[in-house]
Amino acid sequence: MKAQIRFLAVLIFLFSLAIESQGSQQEHKDKHDQHKEGSDMAAGFPELDNFHKLLHTIWHENYPKNQWSEIRAQREELVKRKDAVMKAELHVKPENKKHAEELRTKFGQAVDQLAASAKSGTDDELKKTVAEMHEAFEQFADSVG
């Protein structure tokens, strides 16, 4: 009888671990789906979505594979798309506008820094600026989304 109770307890424990793991995997999938190419980062902000489409390829394909020449080749297009984001009107609540503008400025500077690294920096410098630009983009997108 004791062996059966222990067996049942182990079975319940393993079952609960399986359920917890499945929930964690779904949460990860949901986060990835929110960030996938073509997803709307901010409704009514097509310039931001257009930038994100290029960033998605760089961040999820080129960056993990250390494809620095591919990232360097996108330098001018990144700046072009960044310029469009910088010129676009922000549709945020008045109380959030100052913060969003600060984050947009930080994002713009990060793209410019990446472009400079892509033009004449080392691979290590480019790697660092890609990560910084991605983070600045995420912060800005969150502020307007």
> What are the domain boundaries of the chain?
1-35, 40-144
Q: What is the pLDDT of residues 12-29, one digit of tens each?
A: 655 665 666 565 455 444
**Percent share of the chain, pLDDT over 70:** 70
Query: For 23-27, 78-82, 138-142, which range has the lowest pLDDT when averaged over its residues?
Result: 23-27
The per-residue pLDDT for 44 is 73
Determine the Cα–Cα distance for residues 118 and 112; give it in Å rounded to an integer: 10
The more confidently predicted of residues 20 and 102 is: 102
The per-residue pLDDT for 12 is 67
The per-residue pLDDT for 91 is 86
Mean pLDDT of 79-92: 94
The per-residue pLDDT for 140 is 96
Count of C-beta atoms within a 10 Å radius of residue 60: 14
Per-residue DSSP letter, 64: T
Is the separation of the CB atoms in 78 and 105 below 8 Å?
A: no
The one-letter amino acid code at 122 reads T
Q: What is the chain's mean pLDDT, rounded?
A: 83
Residue 134 above 70 pLDDT?
yes
In CATH, which of 1.10.620.20, 3.20.20.210, 3.90.550.10, 1.20.120.290 is domain 40-144?
Answer: 1.20.120.290
The more confidently predicted of residues 118 and 7 is: 118
Is the separation of the CB atoms in 51 and 81 below 8 Å?
A: yes
Give the distance between the most distant pair of CA atoms in the chain. 74
